[in-house]
Amino acid sequence: MMIIMKANATPQEVEHVIEHVKSVGLAVHLSQGIEATIIGAIGETHNIPVEQFEILDGVDIVKRITQPFKLASRQFHPEDSVFPLDGFTVGGEEISIIAGPCSVESRSQILETAHAVKEAGASALRGGVFKPRTSPYAFQGLGEEGLEYLAEARDQTGLPIVAEIMSQTQLELMVKYVDVLQVGARNMQNFNLLRAIGETRTTVLLKRGLSATIEELLMSAEYILSGGNKQVMLCERGIRTFETSTRNTTDINSIPVLKNLTHLPVILDPSHSTGYSDYVAAIARAAIAAGADGLIVEVHPDPAHAVSDGKQSLRPEKFAAMVKQVGQIAQIMGRRLASVQGEYSPTRQDWS
Amino acid sequence: MMIIMKANATPQEVEHVIEHVKSVGLAVHLSQGIEATIIGAIGETHNIPVEQFEILDGVDIVKRITQPFKLASRQFHPEDSVFPLDGFTVGGEEISIIAGPCSVESRSQILETAHAVKEAGASALRGGVFKPRTSPYAFQGLGEEGLEYLAEARDQTGLPIVAEIMSQTQLELMVKYVDVLQVGARNMQNFNLLRAIGETRTTVLLKRGLSATIEELLMSAEYILSGGNKQVMLCERGIRTFETSTRNTTDINSIPVLKNLTHLPVILDPSHSTGYSDYVAAIARAAIAAGADGLIVEVHPDPAHAVSDGKQSLRPEKFAAMVKQVGQIAQIMGRRLASVQGEYSPTRQDWS
Amino acid sequence: MMIIMKANATPQEVEHVIEHVKSVGLAVHLSQGIEATIIGAIGETHNIPVEQFEILDGVDIVKRITQPFKLASRQFHPEDSVFPLDGFTVGGEEISIIAGPCSVESRSQILETAHAVKEAGASALRGGVFKPRTSPYAFQGLGEEGLEYLAEARDQTGLPIVAEIMSQTQLELMVKYVDVLQVGARNMQNFNLLRAIGETRTTVLLKRGLSATIEELLMSAEYILSGGNKQVMLCERGIRTFETSTRNTTDINSIPVLKNLTHLPVILDPSHSTGYSDYVAAIARAAIAAGADGLIVEVHPDPAHAVSDGKQSLRPEKFAAMVKQVGQIAQIMGRRLASVQGEYSPTRQDWS
Amino acid sequence: MMIIMKANATPQEVEHVIEHVKSVGLAVHLSQGIEATIIGAIGETHNIPVEQFEILDGVDIVKRITQPFKLASRQFHPEDSVFPLDGFTVGGEEISIIAGPCSVESRSQILETAHAVKEAGASALRGGVFKPRTSPYAFQGLGEEGLEYLAEARDQTGLPIVAEIMSQTQLELMVKYVDVLQVGARNMQNFNLLRAIGETRTTVLLKRGLSATIEELLMSAEYILSGGNKQVMLCERGIRTFETSTRNTTDINSIPVLKNLTHLPVILDPSHSTGYSDYVAAIARAAIAAGADGLIVEVHPDPAHAVSDGKQSLRPEKFAAMVKQVGQIAQIMGRRLASVQGEYSPTRQDWS
């Protein structure tokens, strides 16, 4: 960490900063220039907020040499993280495609969808059972009943299941059922929830918040990683901007930026990042071409009657067409679509 | 609710939409134009997502006549909500000024600050004991120990206390101590937390999310109100934009917009909305001039050694000067600063 | 256009709106519902601002049925616009790749770059001679001297040339030299310049403004088209958001959205939309995978000594690698890279 | 300027940077630390883009000590700029209020408005004669005819006149008529126009672009100042964000930030920054409370029939009420409303 003093900083101010640096266990290297004095603070600095120094009298700017996240950083873990997910791997050569409805609505709906997406080439099944809804009057999910239907769908298809967790109080129940705990955009900075999930050994899909920076996403991943849970996938799902012709703005730049900064797998959600089913396939192709490790896509057998997110859900046949295109792009990128076997083999428990 | 069909919608599509409207308990009024057919859906519509109709075949746009929030809306509650807070009222003639440090750091720090802000004219004391920190390595708050210090500060000064709640699991503890439960920007859409708070009868200070629209803020208030807790203050604390010369962008427009849309009290947090202590007084004055009902301001006896938010914290003497200016603006607006008595009178329990 | 009256609009207000509709030459269709009266305004409405009706007493919202742009709209021109550019075509099967330095710096620099990008597979040469620089103290371009160098590069390589125009006063000079007039992001709403360019018959590359909506980009294209100049390419070059890890945020969604709304060719500028040469290839691939018709990319023989935009400029060998990848993606999309012949054949004059 | 080298920069890279610094006429001060080598570049640096050094091999970050704008900066001109405007002054104790219609529509409309705003307390008259309209089909202004009407209004009321210039080609005409040349948000980075205006000695009102940072606004002012025209007022008129309940988001923070960074007068346009006449008075009060030097407000005798911006225009009686409130806030701020005499005294010519 470099602490650059103001041009007119007094010797007393410089001395005071030096003491402060030492008091947090860092070594000091002083270099006195004409325009400015620079105090190098050397040691383990990722866990020290720069603000602690910025507010001291005489300090101009404080610049990190190492990133504020460590476990998530490629600086300390140059190799890609690759981890198993019921028969395939995430983060390696295989491109995973998670598909399913926004909400689990009924047993028949989720079973029908599970078989349809499996057939079309999906490698995992998503479905919400606790729904974060803007309105308190909207459908809030089936809860445990929905989890049972998801488990049945997994038994029938072999697809691992992904569902969103909204609160610590749901954690015990969720880890009993799901293969992947999804943390939604609105909870990306629910730090209590992140800590609790970090204590489990269930794989996590962490979505970027609506207006979270890429660095903040990585800091949230750091919360989970610091608990010892190392299987974290990051997900770009669109950010909020001034543009209103789509629901969100897909930050496609985040794909190469994240692949550069972190070793964690990165996937993209073209359903939420566009909001319209007509645009999903184009953005799914773009994601893989940009280097993403997978996709999470909303698919519904009858979008017009979905209880939520119908506008952005693909019919199974449109999803199947999308998977084909994505597979071709994957090939050019030197990768292939992940495929699951017909039966469920509970490697899930082995991860803990 | 008006459902405007596409120019080329078929009679079957129109018929299908009509059935759907009836199926959710609404009456239908059909008007067939040359350019478009419009289906009026009449009845209690605030609890019906427009999306349910938008996805039906042949539908172009769906337009609400009434707002999606009801309990928070001025349409159904034209009078300002005014409620008591330990010796003064919020939302009426009195301007409340909540002040204190970002974090409770020690017994002496919070007691010293409490007396200083009381003397300067504050009407309530803030202090964080559970801190939402971007980094897992940063100071996370004193927890219950901090609440005890806050309670002691209240006993000594008579100032009601405001502290942030981050998780449902902290609720039982928090309501034992605090007069106002603050919901932070990052939890504005933590719907489980909002529901749980709605079940209590403790006053709430609900902060706008970093990239939440004004409508979303009101929908989150609706979650709390729908549980029966009617004492909700809204707080503008700056939104995230492209501008980087300040920490956030104060959306001053939100003050008159909120006062127009809702009967709930609206306050502003110039510390977070600017991020720099030098700009706090100017924005505090602007808030009251724009019609805000109060302020929440970070004050620290020694900002340079604050464990968090030191850059945006005022020293007590600068805070006192700010209060004087704000008092003058309040007078022009036909209002006055709230004042508390020297002793703590626990009207708090009476609210439940 | 549909004018939806407020629930409590008086008969006089309705009558007044009807008169206003007739006064601008539109026919009226009235439908009186229970919740609202709707006045249909029928006829040529794209050139009538909705605001004219929105401000009338009693009016709630005004909804266009047809888009506010007409010549740019696919509604009236369902076929893709395809037009020739010195030996290849834009907007059809061929993917055009425009490449070259941010600024023309010297004769040797532009000639060297021209040959390098030609060899790597570029189909056109870019180079700025009038530079829009944030600082008045920065290099402002070589002016006509630069145009002469560009023309020489074209003579030697056969590549058509693209250069930015900043002001009407440069128009006469520019059309003498360039094959494509580029309108930069900062001038997207310089309406006087757009009108002037609309009077020429030189092909235009219109860049989206930093915070322009997709609709505003199309309205700006409409300015040019309405002057009779039909050869307009649109260019996504990144929008300004809160994210700071890249120079801009590539709005990849804009590619399928624009292809849906307009018949004009759409290209993407991954150099400006990311700001870092390391991310250019990933975003270039994504653009073509999303359906873009071409790319414009900054290439410099020695980025470290470029007078502008060095950080985002590719070295020729990195550019060549990018072209190869893009070519493979193009093939999957059923397209191919445009290729130019070795000699310059001035079809340019034929367009006027 | 400080150039911080990467931890692993080679001695050759350091040497190369040092040479580059010297080659642009700056002195070098080298300080070699453990974590990083820092090269101080000393001398006149405001006119040297940091990018020139950022792209050199081995460079990590480049940090300015002095701002990139110089003439606009308070660092070099600590006193507020105060300049005369036909009988009153801008930037000093007096608060100027510029009022009038968006567009000059007819002789009677502008004369009626001029008298009304004068009576209500305005100190200058605004009116557009060349209109930047998003649609090529919208009303584009009366041109010189409108300027003649404005001049007549000035003769009758003594109010100096403010009108927007859209293009260099209008400059000669405009300076003959107007007292203040307004540069609109869309032209804030029309650098050719800024340079041309810098050559005149007519006072300028420079509006912030829709998504321009505060630093970019000051860089644009620098273009004008560097031509020798020192009478530049800056204007906050709202920025584009995700919030849609208002037309733009008033960046009220920009008022104290600008007053801190620059000596130039700063005014606010609450009509454009909110978009709704109901919110104009609240934001006008807030602006003055935050320290603004004036306001520019749209007033129309009959907003429902305004050809543009009717929704955000105040009726004269509402404007008069706003002026009264603003006057009271001004008093608290130790200031007073500017007042003009009944007759036009052409001090304007003296400025050149």
pLDDT one-digit tens code per residue, A163-174: 999 999 999 999
Q: Are residues A98 and A9 located together in one domain of the fold?
A: no
What pLDDT is attached to residue A147? 97
| Residues A40, D35: C-beta atoms closer than 8 Å | yes
Confidence category of residue B217, pLDDT binned at 50, 70, 90: very high
Confidence check: pLDDT of C54 > 70: yes
D260 with B278: Cβ contact below 8 A: yes
Confidence band, pLDDT 50/70/90 cuts, at residue B117: very high
Interface-testing mutation among A73, A249, A252, with chain C (most C C-beta atoms within 10 A) = A252
Nearest to C29 among B4, B7, B35 (CB): B35
Is the pLDDT at B96 greater than 60, yes or no?
yes
The closest alpha carbon to C218, from C97, C26, C46, belongs to C46
User: What was the ipTM of the complex prediction?
Assistant: 0.91
Residue type (1 letter), B117: V
Say how far residue C255 (Cα) sits from the centre of its chain: 11
- pLDDT, residue B351, reads 31
Q: Which of A324-327's residues contact partners 24+ apart within 8 Å by CB, and which partners?
A: A324/A121, A325/A281, A325/A284, A325/A285, A325/C332, A326/A95, A326/A97, A326/A284, A326/A285, A326/A288, A326/A295, A327/A95, A327/A121
Q: Looking at C23-156, which runs of residues are DSSP E strands?
A: 27-32, 37-42, 59-63, 83-85, 88-90, 94-100, 124-126
Spatial separation of the C-alpha atoms in residues B201 and B347, rounded to whole Å: 12
Chain C hits for D166, Cβ within 8 Å: 190-192
Contact D35 A4 (CB under 8 A): no
B238 contact A CB<8A: no
Judge whether B174 lies within some domain. Answer: yes
Share of chain B above pLDDT 70, in %: 95
pLDDT for D260 equals 96
Q: Which whole-number Å values give the CA distances from C210 to B302, C177, C189, C270, in the listed order?
A: 42, 28, 11, 14
Counting the structural domains of chain A, the total is 2
D34 or D243: which carries more pLDDT confidence?
D243
Most confident of A52-56, B224-228, D25-29: B224-228
CB contact under 8 A, D132 and C191: yes
- Under an 8 A CB cutoff, do B33 and C35 touch? no
Element (H, E) at B96: strand B94-100
Residue D321 CA to residue D323 CA, distance in Å, equals: 5
Would you put residue B298 in left (φ > 0), alpha (ψ -120 to 50) or beta?
beta
Stretch B331-344: mean pLDDT, rounded?
Answer: 81
pLDDT of B234 over the 90 cut = yes
C179 domain-assigned: yes
Average pLDDT for C180-194: 96
Q: What is the CATH number for B129?
A: 3.20.20.70
pLDDT at B319 (0 to 100): 98
The answer, yes or no, to whether residue A291 has pLDDT greater than 80, is: yes
Residue C191 pLDDT level (bands cut at 50, 70, 90): very high
Which range among A152-156, C27-31, C332-336 shows the weakest confidence by mean pLDDT?
A: C27-31
Candidate from C49, C135, C137 with C-beta closest to D135: C49
Domain boundary among A30, A63, A96: A63
Rg (CA), chain A: 23
Contacts of D232 in chain C (CB under 8 A): none
* Contacting subunits of D (3+ beta carbon pairs below 8 A): A, B, C
The three-class DSSP label of residue D190 is coil
- B97 and B160 co-located in one domain: yes
CB pair distance less than 8 Å for D134 and C189: yes
Same domain, D139 and D188: yes
Q: Does residue A127 share a domain with residue A24? A: no
Residues D215 and D318 in one domain: yes
Q: Work out how many CB contacts closer than 8 A connect A with B.
A: 112
Instruction: Give me the residues paired with residue D4 across strands.
Output: D38, D61
- Quote the percentage of chain D above a pLDDT of 70: 95
Q: Is the residue at A74 inside a domain? A: no
- Chain D residues lying within 8 Å of C309, measured CB to CB: 51
What are B252's two structure tokens?
């001053």
Which residue in chain C is spatially nearest to B42 when comparing CA positions?
C35
Q: Do C262 and C205 belong together in one domain?
A: yes
Q: Taking CA atoms, what residue in B is nearest to D279?
A: B256
User: Residue A25 CB: number of other CB atoms within 10 A?
Assistant: 11
Q: Is the CB of A7 inside 8 Å of chain D's CB atoms?
A: yes
Q: Is residue B342 part of a domain?
A: yes
Q: What percent of chain C has pLDDT over 90?
A: 71
B48 vs A: CB within 8 A: yes
Q: CB–CB of D282 and B274 under 8 A?
A: no
- Range 84-123 of C in CB contact (< 8 A) with D: none
Residue A156 is predicted with a pLDDT of 96
Q: Is the pTM of this model over 0.90?
A: yes
Task: Match 């809804």 to its residue by tokens.
Answer: A133
| Confidence tier at C33 by pLDDT (50, 70, 90) | low
| Interchain proximity D134–C210, CB inside 8 Å | no
Residues A95-136 pLDDT 10s: 999 999 999 999 999 999 999 999 999 999 999 999 888 888
Q: For chain A, where are the alpha helices, taking DSSP H only?
A: 11-23, 51-54, 107-120, 144-157, 171-177, 191-199, 214-225, 254-261, 270-274, 277-290, 316-332
Q: What mean pLDDT is predicted for residues C18-40?
A: 82
The per-residue pLDDT for B341 is: 60
Mutate to test the interface with C, among B14, B31, B39, B44 (most CBs of C within 10 A): B31
Q: Of D247, D188, D179, nearest to D214 (Cα)?
A: D188
pLDDT reported for residue C351: 31
Residue D114 lies in a domain: yes
Residues D169 and D88 in one domain: yes
Q: Residues of chain C with pLDDT > 70: what percent?
A: 95
Strand pairing of B124-126 and B94-100? parallel
Q: What is the pLDDT of residue C249?
A: 98
* pLDDT for residue C349: 34
Domain range enclosing C135: 83-351
Chain C contacts of D138, Cβ < 8 Å? 47, 49
Same domain as B113, residue B177 = yes
Residue B317 in domain: yes
pLDDT digits (tens, 9 = 90+) for A32-58: 766 668 888 888 777 788 888 888 888
Phi, psi angles (nearest 5°) of residue B346: -75, 65
pLDDT band of B352, cuts 50, 70, 90: very low
Chain C within 8 Å of A260 (Cβ-Cβ)?
yes
The whole-number pLDDT of residue A74 equals 92
- The torsion region of residue D58 among left (phi > 0), alpha (psi -120 to 50) and beta comes to left
Strand, coil or helix: C331: helix
Residues D56, D88 within the same domain: no
Together in a domain, C121 and C56: no
B49-53, C83-87, C126-130, range with the lowest pLDDT: B49-53
Same domain, C179 and C310: yes
Does C61 lie at the interface with B, CB-CB under 8 angstroms?
A: yes
Determine the pLDDT at residue B350: 37
Residues D33 and D155 in one domain: no
Integer Cα distance of C136 and C119 in angstroms: 36
Subunits next to C (3 or more Cβ pairs <8 Å) are A, B, D
Residues B107-125 have a mean pLDDT of 97
* Residue contact B56–A304, C-beta within 8 A: yes
- The CATH number of the domain holding residue B14 is 3.30.70.1140
Residue C295 has pLDDT above 90, yes or no: yes
pLDDT per residue as tens digits for the range C217-244: 999 999 999 999 999 999 999 999 999 9
Q: What is the structure's pLDDT at A349?
A: 34
Q: What is the mean pLDDT of residues A177-191?
A: 96
Give C329→chain D minimum CA distance, Å.
30
Q: Does residue A75 fall inside a structural domain?
A: no
Mean pLDDT over the full length of chain D: 91
How far apart are the C-alpha atoms of B203 and B194, rounded to whole Å? Answer: 12
Q: Chain B 21-40, CB below 8 Å of chain A: which residues?
A: none
At residue B348, the pLDDT reads: 40
Closest chain C residue to D137, measured at CA:
C47
Q: Is residue D232 assigned to a domain?
A: yes
